[in-house]
Structure 1
Amino acid sequence: MERAGEEGREEKLCKRCQQMYSPSSNDSSSCRFHPSFFVCRRHDDQKRYYELGPNDPPYAAKFYDCCGAEDPEASGCTTSFHVSYDDD
């Protein structure tokens, strides 16, 4: 998906962070994203990133598999270049 920017430049949609960006200003820290999925399963016993609430089952938690963040809206844990849907 491309659309004209304010100055007539083409902007693209990043498939990692879902933000519009200008290819001319894309650099190695432009995109912030999670490289893994938000999952619902038991954490590895050696890595307890979460606190169970009083009504939570003792066997499952929801978190990003890459960094352990429990908020699905958490800011990405990795930065890199934006990647367009056209870049395949």
Structure 2
Amino acid sequence: MASLLAASSFSLQLRIFQSPRTKTIKTLDSVQVPAIRCSLNSNQTLKTCKICKTQFDPLLNHPRACRFHTAHFGGETKRKFESVYTGGTMNTPDSGQVFQYWHCCGSEDPFDPGCTAAPHSSYDD
């Protein structure tokens, strides 16, 4: 198997804002990442996966090639815990700040690669 490494590169900007659970701030700005094209043949046309939106070589596709989440990334606020019986908001952890996570697996990392794996599926399928 041969791989073709593209000569171009792109800039990646990543920001992870303060999490109420971890109390950390992580930032990574303008990191140059080489664009990589994996293919058996440099003339092979790559397809775009309709699930994860990455390009892939159909000849290299396998049952765990595509990683994705089956639900959305979102959060809940203190309002969810309001009590209709006591007429107010109950005391909640994190002072009612938004707690965000993947609703399918509970991961708090917005850049988690995915909790489900399947073969890539192109728009041509």
Q: TM-score, normalised by structure 1?
A: 0.66
Shift of 1:86: 3.0
- How far is 1:38 from its partner? 0.6
Hey, which of these two has a bigger chunk of strand by percent? 2
Matched, 1:21 2:21: no
- In the alignment, structure 1 segments of 5+ residues that lack a partner are 43-51
More helix by share: 2
Q: Percent identity between the aligned chains?
A: 35
CA distance in 1, matches of 2:75, 2:50: 23
Look up the equivalent residue of 1:12 and give its one-letter code.
K
Cα distance in 1 for partners of 2:50, 2:118 equals: 12
- Aligned equivalent of 2:72: 37
Structure number with larger C-alpha Rg: 2
The amino acid of 1:86's aligned partner reads: D
Of residues 81, 101, 106 in structure 2, which corresponds to 1:63? 101
Q: In structure 2, what is the equivalent of residue 46 of structure 1?
A: none
Structural RMSD (CA): 2.1
| Distance in 2 (alpha carbons) for counterparts of 1:18 and 1:31 | 9
- Secondary structure at 1:84 match in 2: coil
TM-score, normalised to structure 2, is: 0.49
Q: Give structure 2 stretches of 5+ with no counterpart.
A: 1-38, 78-92
The 4+ residue runs of structure 1 with deviation greater than 6 A are none
* 1:45 alignment counterpart: none
Query: What is the distance in 1 between the residues matched to 2:115 and 2:105?
Result: 7
Aligned residues: 71
> How far apart in 1 are the matches of 2:50 and 2:75?
23
Q: Which has the higher contact order (CA 8 A, sep 6+)?
A: 1
